[in-house]
Amino acid sequence: MEKPKIPLPQIVYGKIVYWLCIIAAFICTIGPVLGMAFRDNNLLNPHYLFFTIWKGSKPEAVWEEVGGGFPGGHFWIHNLNTWDGLTQLGLVIGCSCAFLALLGSSIAYFRQKPTAYGWALVALFVAVLVLLSAVGIYHV
């Protein structure tokens, strides 16, 4: 029984998503544990963070009470030397893996013969949606 050939864009998408997801999971395993071991090297001190979250405080109150204010969703860029900054990097990798995977599959659609221009553009469109959402261009 000859199995149908899986289209290259599909393989590219699957591989990029899977491995970025694994990398994100590794960072997110190590980050919180190191954050609790070296508590002073965090934006949010775990002692107060978990207490405040468990108290039912709203997100802005959590950041205000524990970290002196919310530094923005991409605070990890300037705080990679802190453990919660590193953990946020793991989350960001996971939450944007579809962007990179869609870019990859879009390139694969462009390069396949015959070229699937339409699908390459639709993949690019969804990738742009992820990007716009991640940079926060739309906001209430």
Footprint (CB under 8 A) of other proteins, residues 23-82: 24-26, 28-33, 35-37, 39, 42, 44-51, 53-60, 62-63, 70, 72-73
Furthest-apart CA atoms within the chain: distance in Å: 64
Per-residue mark of binding to other proteins, 88-127 (x: CB under 8 A): x-xxx-xxxxxx--x--x-------------x--xx-xx-
Distances 59 to 41, 54, 79, 91 between C-alpha atoms, Å: 21, 12, 19, 17
Judged by CB under 8 A, the chain residues 4 through 23 that form the site for other proteins are 4, 6-7, 9-11, 13-15, 17-19, 21-22
φ, ψ (nearest 5 deg) of residue 92? -65, -40
CA–CA dist 26, 139 (Å, integer): 31
Among 81, 113, 114, 140, interactor with other proteins by CB under 8 A: 140
Q: How far is the CB of 103 from other proteins (least distance, A)?
A: 12
C-alpha 33/C-alpha 24 separation (Å) is 15
Our CB check for other proteins shows the closer of 14 and 78 to be 14
114 prior amide bond cis, ω within 30: yes
The CB-of-111 to other proteins minimum distance in angstroms stands at: 15
